[in-house]
Chains A and B, each alone.
Chain A
Amino acid sequence: MKLMWFHLMPYTELPEDFRDANPSVWVDIHSTLFDPKRAHHMYNDFMDELEYAAEVGFDAICVNEHHSNGYGLMPSPNLIASALSRRTRDTAICVMGNSLALYNPPTRVAEEFAMIDCISGGRLIAGFPVGTPMDTCYAYGTNPSQLRQRYMEAHDLVVRAWTEKDTFAFNGRFNQQRYVNIWPRPVQNPHPPIWVPGGGSVETWHWCAEMDYVYCYLSYYGYKAGRATMDGFWAEMDRLGKPRNPYQAGFLQFIGVGESRQHAFDLYAEAAEYFYGRCLHVDPKWATPPGYTSEGSQRAGIESQVKKAADSNVRGKSTGERFASVAREMEAIVDNGYVIIGSADEVAEQLREVAVNLNVGHLMLLLQYGNMSKDLTRYNTRLFAEQVIPKLKDLHAGWDDRWWPKPMQARERAEIAAFQPRLAAE
């Protein structure tokens, strides 16, 4: 079982009346809410937290890409990943990931990921999300009617750029490059493992299964809502006669560890309510650019609503409807399974169920969310590392994780230049 520590890097000082006074946390969030000098501290705290997670034994640290977003301060996760590559030694660096269609030319992604793979000595996990409507179509102005076609083509170009030995011409529908020849090349051969975060679209299940990529469901709505999506992926794997190797799947889950359930409830309520209340306050007008959702997925969504299928709580709902119906009070946040809380034993027990029921070998854990302080983040992270991880490590032991980075041998790797020897998160 792989336990991965994920940071969204939320702006932690959105005002208390944010929901009432602002239309959206995303796309048109007002610039006056952003204080760069406070963000200086946030970024450094967040990077300390990621480094601390590596230090206490998480298998990977994860970053992701968002634009014009008050809960995701990483328009370029590659910048953070490259810094983390220097300050960590053996932990996998998971960039989850680069929205391929946004890069012009997409070989930029091949280059930057190859750089991170070289700097880190082959520790990169290359995430390829399509990207949310807010990030791609609105903040970046990408045409929703072409987004997926551009994504697929960019994927082909990046993989070819990583693997082809000679300079080649790429004659794509949207990208034409006469001379593709990236320097540097990735350490991992043939290339870093490719993981694909999906939102429950039928086509993505099929594509990941066919391409032998890891399918990840990065939902903020927890394991109860995530079940249907992961079941859909495994059903597609079954249909194609592929093995149910749990390491071909990843799942995101919010966590709060304390001494007891009540203790955890009290400790994490503020941060969770900040996240689900302020950070997920997204104007639904940003959620449904026409063409973003494939017609196959629209069809599946409408059919599931028609049938009142058990999964219609999440699937078949537009992003906007999901945002509108989200629970925002701690009681409901916990009841709905958005955040798993409890003592270390209770959290481990619940996560074991999640990992088994969803058949997931990679759990991406959010142990910092909302305005959670550095101290509390560190407490949550340490308790999880010391008391939860050991109880989960044996899970899925019979399976081979073919999608994990294959770094250079430790003895082959560069000595990391000395930096402040004090614990990173202190």
Chain B
Amino acid sequence: MSEPQTLTIDVNGFSTRVWRLGSGPKLGFLAGFGGLPRWMPVLDELAKSRTLIVPSLPGFPGGDRGHSVLDSHLDWMLAVRELLEKAELAGADLAGSSVGASLALEVAALWPASVRRIAAIAPFGLFDDKDPPTDPWAQRADQVPGLMCADPEIWKAMKSTPEGANSIEWPIEQTRAAEAAARIFWPLGNTRIEKRLGLIKAPVLLLWGENDRIMPRGYAEIFARGIGGETIIKIIPGAGHLAELDKPAEVAKAILDFTA
């Protein structure tokens, strides 16, 4: 597998990383909680038959401190839209996980022409009093890996400081990723996205890790009921909240089949 190309775009004055790999029709990917501090196997899988474009979300690894100027939901929406346009993803298929999946759905609701088909892995955005999501920001550090992935070692390996990386800046960047997610989703993860789901006319694949310990699986049905376009729910056996990290091949296949 060849190396991804790393491009840089400007979003609200912040230098933002965009990875690009493969050929064929474009497919965008927006990272989940914690971001993508390093290239992960699911991206290789997705790039096998597509031009995969992975722009960093503001404040997530590769996204500098872009979150720090986003005060309102509208600020976030406009930043994500600008990000997708500058990454040359306008009108393309879009996949996202967790927080990134929520943003992908929002963009599809507000600017229907900007997205073709969507694959959303356990999106944030809802809060049901009777079945609340786990609070990802109130956890002991040693609990987080097992909440994010069915196999905690995968999260740990993704987050550990790589050989040669700046040992001071790397951990700060990981905290910043959690902060950026908090900036838009604090404290409940509830952006009242249900009010906008009906505006989504694009077909949506809802993927859920069988063992998601953050987002209750019942939320898949709430999303499916609310979304204006056609929806399919698919459960990924043996996967946790960030199903794409636990089961890269299965998740990539589902996304590629859906957007083929």
Q: Does A189 contact B (CB under 8 A)?
A: no
Which residues from chain B contact A288 at a C-beta distance below 8 Å?
A: 141
Given B68, B139, B141, B186, which contacts A144 in the complex, CB threshold below 8 Å?
B186
Interface 1/0 per residue, A142-157 and B, CB below 8 Å: 0111100000000000
Given B140, B171, B182, B187, which contacts A291 in the complex, CB threshold below 8 Å?
B182
Known: A285-B138, A290-B178. A298 touches B172 (CB 8 A): yes
Given A137, A144, A284, which contacts B140 in the complex, CB threshold below 8 Å?
A284
Residue of B178, B181, B182 ringed by the most chain A CB atoms within 10 A: B182
B137 to chain A, nearest CB (A): 6
Interface residues on A, range: 20 to 34
Given A284, A286, A290, A302, which contacts B182 in the complex, CB threshold below 8 Å?
A290
Give the A-B contact count at a CB cut-off of 8 A: 65
Q: Which positions 133-183 of chain A face chain B at CB distance < 8 Å?
A: 137-138, 141, 143-146, 173-174
**Are A138 and B175 within 8 A (Cβ)?**
no
Which residues from chain A contact B137 at a C-beta distance below 8 Å?
A: 137, 144, 289-290
**Are A285 and B140 within 8 A (Cβ)?**
yes
Q: Does A30 contact B (CB under 8 A)?
A: no
Interface size on B, residues (CB 8 A): 23
Which residues from chain B contact A21 at a C-beta distance below 8 Å?
A: none
Q: Does A400 contact B (CB under 8 A)?
A: no
**Are B186 and A143 within 8 A (Cβ)?**
yes
Given B71, B143, B167, B172, which contacts A146 in the complex, CB threshold below 8 Å?
B71
Which residues from chain B contact A144 at a C-beta distance below 8 Å?
A: 137, 179, 182, 186
Q: Which positions 174-232 of chain B face chain A at CB distance < 8 Å?
A: 175-176, 178-183, 186-187
Which residues from chain A contact B187 at a C-beta distance below 8 Å?
A: 137, 141, 143
| Whole-angstrom CA separation of A295 from B180 in the bound complex | 13
B166 to chain A, nearest CB (A): 10
Interface 1/0 per residue, B61-72 and A, CB below 8 Å: 000000110010
Which residues from chain A contact B138 at a C-beta distance below 8 Å?
A: 138, 285-286, 289
Which residues from chain A contact B74 at a C-beta distance below 8 Å?
A: none
Known: A284-B140, A298-B172, A302-B172. A145 touches B167 (CB 8 A): no
A176 to chain B, nearest CB (A): 12
List the B residue with the shortest CB-CB distance to A295.
B172
Interface 1/0 per residue, A297-317 and B, CB below 8 Å: 011001100100000000000
Which residues from chain A contact B186 at a C-beta distance below 8 Å?
A: 137, 141, 143-145
| Whole-angstrom CA separation of A302 from B139 in the bound complex | 21
A-B complex: 10 closest residue pairs judged by Cβ atoms: A291-B179, A290-B178, A145-B183, A290-B179, A143-B186, A141-B187, A285-B140, A145-B179, A302-B168, A285-B138
- Chain A residues close to B by CB (< 8 Å): 137-138, 141, 143-146, 173-174, 283-286, 288-291, 295, 298-299, 302-303, 306, 320
Q: A143-B182, A283-B140, A298-B172 are in contact. List 9 more A-B contacts (CB 8 A).
A: A145-B68, A145-B183, A146-B183, A173-B71, A289-B137, A290-B179, A299-B172, A302-B168, A302-B171
Can you pick out 18 interface pairs between chain A and chain B where the beta carbons lie within 8 Å of each other? A138-B138, A141-B186, A143-B186, A143-B187, A146-B71, A174-B71, A283-B140, A284-B140, A285-B138, A290-B175, A290-B176, A291-B182, A295-B172, A302-B171, A302-B172, A306-B167, A306-B168, A320-B140
- Chain B residues close to A by CB (< 8 Å): 67-68, 71, 137-141, 143, 167-168, 171-172, 175-176, 178-183, 186-187
